[in-house]
Amino acid sequence: MESVIRTAIAETAEELGFGEVDFSVEHPSDFTHGDYASNVAMVLAREAGKSPREIAEQFLAALEGQIEYVEKIEIAGPGFINFFLAREFFTEELTRALTLGNRWGGNDTEAGEHVLIEYTSPNLFKPLHVGNLVGNIVGESIARLFTANGAEVERINYPSDIGLTVAKGVWGLTKTGGNPEDIAALGEAYRAGNEAYENDPTAKEEIETVNRSLYAGDSEELNTLRAKGISTSKARLAELCRMLGTEFNLEIFESEASPLGTALVREHIQDGIFEESDDAIIFAGEKHGLHTRVFLNSQGLPTYEAKDLGNFALKQKQYPEWTKSVVVTGSEQREYFKVIIAAIREVFTEAQEKDLEHIATGFLTLNTGKMSSRKGNVLTGESMLEEMETAAKERAVESRAEDVEALAEMIAVAALKYQILRQSLGSDIIFDKERALSFEGDSGPYLQYTYARINSLLEKAAGVGVAADIKNPPETPYTVEKVIYQFPEVIEQALLDRAPHQVVTYLTELAGSFNSFYAEEKIADENDEFAPYKAAVAAVVGQTLANGLWVLGIKAPEKM
């Protein structure tokens, strides 16, 4: 409807002699002001030398009765044009939602696009970093938004399994004697190695020697430690991704990308893409209005930059028909990825006309200081998930669910994801555990509880012979109906803006609107002629919540 109304306004502007005009069509915050409102008259007033209301009157005369499903148009305030939708529009939207089921809310705006989306991509050999956890949650939601908008999506993970980070952990194991098959021991080994590297010149030299040896593969002892630690990290990462609902189509490891990236850099020195500088090989980003970065260091080893070239080559080899490439990382890598994208466009001619995008996530902190965990007071992605699941089990123990353990995991993940995704991307995240786990107000468990509540009341209604049916609607649409139909618009706009928080905001508003509706209306009442229609409204709200939660990577439990 937004598109229909926008087209009608644009055509009317042409007919009235105004030509093309840039105007908005939005939902008013107050439903008494209509279902859509446009500022077109106010935009045109300045150039036309007339009052906004005078221009609005011209549009009103031309548009009234001309737009299907718009039963009334009014002028409000200084010149807003408000559009009120007809009762049958809302009824037909309910029918459409019931018919589409799991596909309700989706569209084909990205049909034909083949999207490669890379996210999570942790440093192995230590517990999952909280930044990688945030990246996973954001990346999974963006991937699902692309899917909901009709794209073919490939999820890609790019873990670091070689390099200085791994060398610090391997060196640390040789000093701590830790078990490489214990993820906590790997975390402690990395902590010891990192601290030594920063504070002890002798240890720093030893760690760099370990790093060179791991690249060369010339030490059986070090290779064995690395292999065991990588295997432990990969197994733990797989379990965490299962909890979070992520299944990757492709994993590319730094050890695979490293030699390929090195070769690509060396191949493109002669053509001037890369150049020598102080025994290193650099990409002169200043030529592109960016900054210079080292791709091969003075020891001839590839940096992250060179490895990212190799990573891109491997992605392209696996999916040669890709049309968009998206990478999700922390906001501290914004400038880094500007350089990487510029270098990729120089090296890979086939990437010059395609979409390359970096999406930045915000930095997460706690509102109550450090979160305790059995691994110590270090905030990691693992400790956050463990802490949330432990707290969720306490709240799920009195539920109606058959599997309390499974429900607790769903609640923990919902609590975590909602708090992270409710912020606009790139904004820092203040995580409040108590608020996250609340069953009231702005939280993932609140949305889950509303969904489960709808299932319960529909069961109760069926028990007294009330089944969902849209044949007999009341004369005036329920307020919640005016929220329901906006769902497909939200899904489309959330992808365009790269803004999962818009879905979070919408679902929270929908749940609140439904709970107000339920407080005022009886559904399980066989004597109410409108009860079947109310049940249909409830069923569509439930479907909308389930579909919207799926986009956020949150499961909708049938019972709570």
DSSP reduced 3-state for 155: strand
Residues facing residue 123 across a β-bridge: 160
Q: With 50 as the cut, is the pLDDT of residue 371 above it?
A: no
Q: With 70 as the cut, is the pLDDT of residue 11 above it?
A: yes
- Predicted confidence (pLDDT) per residue in 221-277, tens digit: 999 999 999 999 999 999 999 999 999 999 999 999 999 999 999 999 999 999 999
Asked if the structure places residue 25 within a domain, the reply is: yes
- Predicted confidence (pLDDT) per residue in 475-504, tens digit: 999 999 999 999 999 999 999 999 999 999
Asked if the structure places residue 50 within a domain, the reply is: yes
Residues facing residue 152 across a β-bridge: 114
Asked if the structure places residue 216 within a domain, the reply is: no
Asked if the structure places residue 265 within a domain, the reply is: no
Asked if the structure places residue 90 within a domain, the reply is: no
- Predicted confidence (pLDDT) per residue in 142-166, tens digit: 999 999 999 999 999 999 999 999 9
Which residues fall within 8 angstroms of residue 11, CB to CB, at 6 or more apart? none
Q: How far apart are CA 418 and CA 501, in angstroms?
A: 9
pLDDT at site 296: 97
pLDDT at site 366: 85
Q: What is the mean pLDDT of the chain?
A: 94
pLDDT at site 4: 95
Asked if the structure places residue 153 within a domain, the reply is: no
Which residues fall within 8 angstroms of residue 205, CB to CB, at 6 or more apart? none
Question: Is residue 382 within 8 Å of 128, Cβ to Cβ?
Answer: yes
> Where do runs of H (alpha helix) occur along 64-200?
87-100, 130-148, 164-176, 183-199
Query: What's at 232, amino acid-wise?
Result: T
Q: With 70 as the cut, is the pLDDT of residue 375 above it?
A: no
Domain of 70 in residue numbering reads as 2-85
Contacts 24+ apart (CB under 8 A), 287-296: 288/339, 288/342, 290/335, 290/338, 290/339, 290/342, 291/335, 291/339, 293/336, 293/339, 295/261, 295/265, 295/343, 296/262, 296/265, 296/266
Q: Rounded to an integer, what is the distance from CA 558 to the centroid of its chain?
A: 24
- Predicted confidence (pLDDT) per residue in 88-138, tens digit: 999 999 999 999 999 999 999 999 999 999 999 999 999 999 999 999 999
Asked if the structure places residue 54 within a domain, the reply is: yes
Instruction: Give the torsion sign (CA, 321, 324, 329, 334).
Output: positive
Say how many C-beta atoms besides its own lie within 10 A of residue 324's C-beta. 17
Q: How far apart are CA 200 and CA 196, in angstroms?
A: 5
| Confidence tier at 369 by pLDDT (50, 70, 90) | low
Q: In Å, how far are 58, 85, 552 from 79, measured between CA atoms?
A: 11, 19, 38
Query: What's at 270, amino acid-wise?
Result: Q
- Predicted confidence (pLDDT) per residue in 173-206, tens digit: 999 999 999 999 999 999 999 999 999 999 999 9
pLDDT at site 531: 96
Q: Judging by beta carbons within 10 Å of its beta carbon (0-12, 13-18, 19+), is residue 440 exposed, middle or buried?
A: exposed
Say how many C-beta atoms besides its own lie within 10 A of residue 294's C-beta. 18
Asked if the structure places residue 365 within a domain, the reply is: no
| CATH (domain of 37) | 3.30.1360.70
Tokens, residue 319? 């999916």
Element (H, E) at 296: strand 293-296
Q: How far apart are CA 523 and CA 242, in angstroms?
A: 38
Widest pairwise Cα distance in the chain: 86
Question: Among 329, 509, 430, 486, which Cα is nearest to 1's?
Answer: 486
- Predicted confidence (pLDDT) per residue in 13-50, tens digit: 999 999 899 999 999 989 999 999 999 999 999 888 88
Give the total number of structural domains in the chain: 1
